[in-house]
Amino acid sequence: MTVNPADLNQDGVVTQQEQVTYDILQKDNGSAPEKSKEDYPVLWSRGVTGTPDLVGGGTRGDRKTKTEAKAAYTTGGLTAYQKKILDNGYAKYKASGGRSGKKGWWSDYVDAAADTNETPFDIVFGQYGSDADKYTSDDDTGSGKDRTSVAISTYTPELANQILDAAVTATFGTGTVLTKTQRDSFYGQLTAGQRKGTTTTYKTKGGKRYATTTKSFDEDVFRKKYIGTILESMVTGNDDIDLEGDAGVYQDTLLKYSDDMGLMKGRRELNGYVKEIIGKGRSVEDVTADMRKQAGVLYSNFADRLNADPKLTVRDLVNPYLQVMADTLEIDPNTVKLTDTTIQNAISGTKLRSLSDFQADMRADSRFGNTKVAKREAVDLAQSLLRSFGFGA
């Protein structure tokens, strides 16, 4: 397999951060040609067509003056997204022991950019990256003052798509095709949530520092909810859908458990449980616990034992009846449904049917006539009648 040299962390994906970093390293090694202004994306003006770089690349005459570039950061000449990228770099700079203020720190990058074919933003972007945590804060420089910091993670559309595809494949199997609307909606909601970040508030009390972190956006919870909306679109109007992936495992597990608990659950109701597991964060154990309570009400004769031992199922408790039924009807006991009318008549009333009475019920069942025993008994009866009329031996 060919490895892309720009894939710096070798995860199979070349992020914009890695590409910029790689280009800078190549330039430093003298192995990359000089870049012109057109070689670099207008990162400062991403998404705003026609807005020029604040510094630009190429010759000095093609870019704004350094004075204008330095003033842009300190006078609000950036978008909110751009400022967060730069604030992230400044926060990490301070955390590593840097002593310059924002003006001095930014001026250093403007001066460096004047000697390269990049913008200062390109350099900060390459050094600190767009996929790293972003920090906007009144940085704690050891003064002991209270402060609040906000950590923000942002993804590129490509990375968001990879995350979405991985989650969808794991949940529904490889055959699931997403629409552009679904992908765009996922990315829009994801980045909107990520901008809320995780807030850490620092307080000083009694000479001690305390940190309280509030998670304003939980990406795992969001992803589960969004996958739940995809499942909703898959099952709506398609009650008999046979799900694959994790969803299929949940579907099969709940179907078997409902059968073992003697509950008549349709595919639509089971899919409703699957949606709760995938989209709302419920566990399989939560759902089976609900089914267990339902079985305790339906089969009151077994309620105490079901409550006492959570590992027992109704199938375990009625196994003697299943064996009688299987032996009498000459069938595999594992194929017997607890919802079978004859079984239900024996176990769901206020009083359990005795096994002897149940065996009599089974011999009266129309299915008994197809067994070898029934056919042999019929032959024996016929021969006995013939003998009684003087026919045969």
| Structural domain for 53, as ranges | 16-131
In this prediction, residue 367 carries a pLDDT of 86
Distance CA 390, CA 56 (A): 118
Same-domain pairing of 159 and 204:
yes
Is residue 343 a contact partner of residue 318, using CB atoms and an 8 Å limit?
yes
Same-domain pairing of 217 and 270:
no
Same-domain pairing of 99 and 149:
no
Same-domain pairing of 330 and 354:
yes
265 assigned to some structural domain:
yes
Distance CA 51, CA 56 (A): 11
How many domains does the chain fold into? 4
Is residue 227 a contact partner of residue 167, using CB atoms and an 8 Å limit?
yes
In this prediction, residue 50 carries a pLDDT of 35
Q: Quickly count: other Cβ atoms within 10 Å of residue 226's Cβ.
A: 19
111 assigned to some structural domain:
yes
Please give the model's pTM, rounded to 2 decimal places: 0.56
Q: Is it the case that residue 354 has pLDDT exceeding 70?
A: yes
Same-domain pairing of 48 and 146:
no
Lowest mean pLDDT among 134-138, 168-172, 381-385: 134-138
Same-domain pairing of 220 and 137:
yes
Q: Is it the case that residue 164 has pLDDT exceeding 50?
A: yes
Which of 316, 345, 364 represents a domain boundary (last residue)? Answer: 316
Same-domain pairing of 296 and 329:
no
Same-domain pairing of 303 and 339:
no
Where does the pLDDT of residue 134 fall: very low under 50, low under 70, confident under 90, or very high at 90 and above?
very low
7 assigned to some structural domain:
no
Same-domain pairing of 219 and 251:
no
Distance CA 133, CA 154 (A): 8
The residue among 381 and 301 whose pLDDT is bigger is 301
Distance CA 100, CA 90 (A): 10
Mean pLDDT is highest, among 15-19, 128-132, 315-319, for 315-319
Mean pLDDT is highest, among 155-159, 213-217, 376-380, for 155-159
Q: Is it the case that residue 303 has pLDDT exceeding 50?
A: yes
Is residue 314 a contact partner of residue 306, using CB atoms and an 8 Å limit?
yes
Distance CA 143, CA 156 (A): 36
Same-domain pairing of 326 and 303:
no
pLDDT average, residue stretch 70-99: 68
In this prediction, residue 174 carries a pLDDT of 85
Is residue 78 a contact partner of residue 44, using CB atoms and an 8 Å limit?
yes
Beta strands per DSSP E along 241-348: none
Distance CA 125, CA 393 (A): 105
95 assigned to some structural domain:
yes
Residue 208 forms beta bridges with which residues?
205
pLDDT average, residue stretch 126-150: 48
Query: What token pair was written down for 62?
Result: 């093609």
